[in-house]
Structure 1
């Protein structure tokens, strides 16, 4: 079984990563951290080279098997996460949430909501402090 963390380079992503590391370490399960999106200039939360190196170093120092996957290949974030859930034996997916107004959720949609409705494994949603 594997713990999967959907990571974005924002406070909610850091909160999800911290919780995923905590759960994977406690359960002694492998950890896979994914940062994914379709690409494009307007995207936020996509990991750059420096952030990716820092993340890889942090994962390398863990007492469990951990790896970072970064995808910007035209698929949506939800599609990339769903593929990994289907490929790996994911015991739990950890995602970070940010606060949004009701109008913001209505107009912009919600990746978190789509993930919750799509994936076949348990999902833990965490908020940034």
Structure 2
């Protein structure tokens, strides 16, 4: 993939992540961190919903010919997000046994206004 295409995909992805963040904020979910990266993976949004720390994966698909955005989250992707979340918790000195956590997904199929929030997705 050319660098220009990679940069364009990143900019487009950031737009969808911002739409998801705005959507969640209207639901009372506060963003703590965006695009957390570590050697184990990436987390699009890390949020706070009440007492719960929420790790959010944002997925977009232009059309549903390949199953839509929700079906694009493979078991391997789920494992990567979970490993990155555990790394984040360790880095922040948060004991997973004393903190409620959840893995959510915000999907966008087609139009950027067509958002679906899946709580406890995996």
- TM-score range (shorter-chain normalised) is 0.3 to 0.5
- Asked which structure has the greater RCO (Cα within 8 Å, sep 6+), the reply is 1
Question: What is the TM-score with the length of structure 1 in the denominator?
Answer: 0.34
